[in-house]
A and B are shown apart, each in its own frame.
Chain A
């Protein structure tokens, strides 16, 4: 979770990622941010997020993203 927040903070430092649950819905992060996040997660955590998992529900909060990463790690 800390690593995920660190990745997100690099993109938009002013956002409170602990509480925000509508990052995509409120257009705080856009498609360019999303692919930067995916590339960073691949690079730092060695987890590959497939295209079908790129849906708002998985990127709306840091927690949702951390859950997704944990699920993908499990599946591996």
Chain B
């Protein structure tokens, strides 16, 4: 059931009606039934995978909590019978930590193992076959990759680590945990929620609120507008441009790069708008996944604003634990003593960041292009980090830093760089990407902007007008948020005519200008494949 389908819209409307008509205590169980039904519609087999992940996470959480409770009780008893000492407390805590660690490790290996086997087996086989003779090549395996497995596995592993750390209490009701793992609006493409955040509103009883519900509806419509009016329209041109690498070189590659940047932005942020909007209609708060990413002034900032929940997942669960690990701190100390101040401060940061970006690339897909894409991000971030003192000197001398035009330049530079790196995602072939990007600098076919070539990419002049108008609307809304630091809905809500007018406008524009009749079906979201 695609987000962009009549079935999904009908499904959501029925859910909304039942959610507010049934007694409030039935709200979260209803969401669980709806989430499992949503997954069942995609494929009944998927339920086996998500069910297994839920059951194992529940057991692991329960056992870790039990180990902790046992220790707390032992400390309490020791205090009561006078045998308490700091050393005893330390030893009991260390024992609890060791047994919790074992449970965490087994449950993580099991669940990440399912993800690895389903998603990466064929990638490994293909790469092994490169070293084998043709006759002895291994056969690719026909494996099901459950929908959203990367998202729900990461969400579950986050829950397990938080329980291990004691930052959240283990969920005692398996059905509640099942809802956390499977909450349907975020199954398709995230955000990757934390149990501590989502559980605050997921299981509560919610009364209907006109403001909350209509605010959610506007967010949903805004998401559909971005997805079906922009992303599903421009995809035709992107597919044409990427599809014929002999014909579309030079300036065409530049166009493909910017079109893809626009498509991906509208596709991914639009999908997340639908997710967060549905949750808001249900009274549930889902963490934001974007904060005006295309207004970032450097790549590091971009990664703080784009796919925020994935970035913070990697930072909190891989980057920090790796960086503050005892052995890493030892290495840090050693490098300070033996490699001098420069490398002493950098070595461990470089190692941790390299591993995180490698993992980020692998998470996106089982292909070399994603790995190279991840490492390119790593390289650019590190290079810009090293250049920072130089930039500071430059700014002190010329005083550009606070000039508005320089801010715009920094934003455009970041968009260009990010779009360039993303070409690996576009062509999905590393040597081909290098070749095509190379033609941007060697083939000067600028005449394509005036000879009508751009009208032969599968989109008409009218489509270009719709895309340009869409870009202007998105820019206006974004600039408003950037300058005022508040969501435009807060202002629109002040006047009911404007509020409901905006809703009607988005609905009509999406119905009239959605890319439905272009000879292709509504497409799946790009991030659904990850």
A38 and B333 contact, CB distance less than 8 A: no
Q: Is the Cβ of A51 less than 8 Å from the Cβ of B321?
A: yes
Cβ contact within 8 Å between B300 and A38: no
Contact B336–A35 (Cβ < 8 Å): no
A16-45 contact mask (Cβ, 8 Å, vs B): 1 or 0 = 000000000001001110111011001100
- What 0/1 pattern do residues 316 to 352 of B give for CB contact below 8 A with A? 1001110110100100110010000000010011001
Give the distance to chain A from B315, nearest Cβ to Cβ, in Å.
5
Closest chain B residue to A10, Cβ basis = B345
With A30-B300, A43-B333, A52-B166 already in contact, the answer to whether A38 and B315 are too (CB < 8 A) is: no
The reply to whether B352 and A35 contact each other, CB–CB distance below 8 Å, is yes
Q: Is the interface of A mostly helix, strand, loop or mixed?
A: helix
Chain A: number of interface residues, binned into ranges: 10 to 19
Known: A43-B333, A43-B336, A48-B329. A35 touches B345 (CB 8 A): no
A52–B100 Cα distance when bound, in Å, is: 15
Min distance, Cβ B308 to any Cβ of chain A, angstroms: 13
Write the chain A residue with the least CB distance to B325: A51
Contacts of A52 in B (CB 8 A): 165-167
How distant is A10 from chain B, measured CB to nearest CB, in Å?
Answer: 10
B301 touches A (CB below 8 Å): yes
Provide the residues of chain A in CB contact with B329, threshold 8 Å.
38-39, 42, 48
Given the interface pairs A43-B336, A48-B324, the reply to whether A54 lies near B349 with Cβ below 8 Å is no
What A residues does B240 contact at CB under 8 A?
A: none
Tell whether B385 is near chain A: CB-to-CB under 8 Å.
yes
Contact B321 A32 (CB under 8 A): no
> CB-CB < 8 A to A51: which residues of B?
165, 316, 320-321, 324
| B304: interface (CB < 8 Å) | yes
A36 to B352, CA, bound (A): 12
Q: How many Å lie between the Cα of A49 and that of B321 in the bound state?
A: 10
Residues from chain B with Cβ under 8 Å of A36 in the complex: 345, 349
A35 contacts B301, C-beta separation under 8 Å: no
Q: For residue A8, give the distance in angstroms from its CB to the closest CB of chain B.
A: 14
- Between A and B, how many residue pairs show CB distances below 8 Å? 50
Closest residue on chain A to residue B312 by CB atoms:
A31
CB distance from A60 to the nearest CB of B (A): 16
Q: How many residues of chain B get a CB closer than 8 Å to chain A's CBs? A: 24
A62 to B300, CA, bound (A): 23
A27 contacts B336, CB within 8 Å? no
Task: Give the residue name and chain of the A residue nearest to B162 (CB).
Answer: A52
Assess the A49–B315 pair: CB atoms within 8 A.
no
Contact A38 B166 (CB under 8 A): no
Q: B89 CB to closest chain A CB, in angstroms?
A: 9
Q: Which chain A residue shows the least CB distance to B317?
A: A51
Contact with A along B348-360 (1 / 0, CB 8 A): 1100110000000
Question: Do A35 and B385 touch (CB < 8 A)?
Answer: no
Query: Are A31 and B166 neighbours in the complex by a CB distance under 8 Å?
Result: no
Bound complex: CA A35 to CA B352 (Å): 10
CB distance from A25 to the nearest CB of B (A): 11
Contact call B319/A31, Cβ cutoff below 8 A: yes
Q: Which of A55-75 contact B (CB under 8 A)?
A: none
Q: Is the CB of A35 within 8 A of B315?
A: no
Q: Are A39 and B165 interface neighbours, CB within 8 A?
A: no
For A76, give the chain B residue with the smallest CB separation: B90
Do B321 and A39 have beta carbons less than 8 Å apart? no
Q: Are B348 and A35 in contact (CB under 8 A)?
A: yes
Instruction: Point out the residues of chain B lying under 8 angstroms from A48, CB to CB.
Output: 324, 326, 329
Q: Which residues of A contact B320 (CB under 8 A)?
A: 31, 34-35, 51, 54
Q: Are A39 and B304 in contact (CB under 8 A)?
A: no
The distance from the CB of A26 to the nearest CB of chain B, in whole angstroms, is: 12
Tell me which residues across on chain A come within 8 A of B165, comparing CB atoms.
Answer: 51-52
Closest-CB distance, A27 to chain B (whole angstroms): 7
Q: Taking CB as reference atom, which chain B residue is nearest A31? A: B315
Known contacts A27-B301, A52-B166, A54-B316: A35-B324 contact under CB 8 Å: yes
Least CB separation from A54: chain B residue: B320
Chain A nearest Cβ from B104, distance in angstroms: 12
Shortest distance from the beta carbon of B266 to any chain A beta carbon, whole Å: 26
Smallest CB gap from B304: residue in A? A27
How many Å lie between the Cα of A36 and that of B324 in the bound state? 10
Q: Decide yes or no: A50 and B324 within 8 Å by CB, A35-B348, A39-B348, A43-B333 being known contacts.
A: yes
Roughly how many angstroms separate A38 CA and B359 CA in the complex, as a whole number? 23
Minimal beta-carbon separation of A22 from chain B (angstroms): 14
Q: List 16 A-B contacts (CB under 8 A).
A: A27-B304, A31-B315, A31-B320, A35-B320, A36-B345, A38-B323, A39-B323, A39-B329, A39-B333, A39-B348, A43-B336, A48-B329, A51-B320, A51-B324, A52-B167, A54-B324
Given A30-B304, A35-B324, 8 other A-B residues pairs in contact with their CB atoms under 8 A? A31-B315, A32-B353, A35-B352, A48-B326, A48-B329, A49-B324, A51-B316, A52-B166
Pairs A-B, 9 closest by C-beta atoms: A52-B165, A35-B323, A51-B321, A51-B320, A39-B332, A54-B320, A42-B329, A38-B324, A31-B315
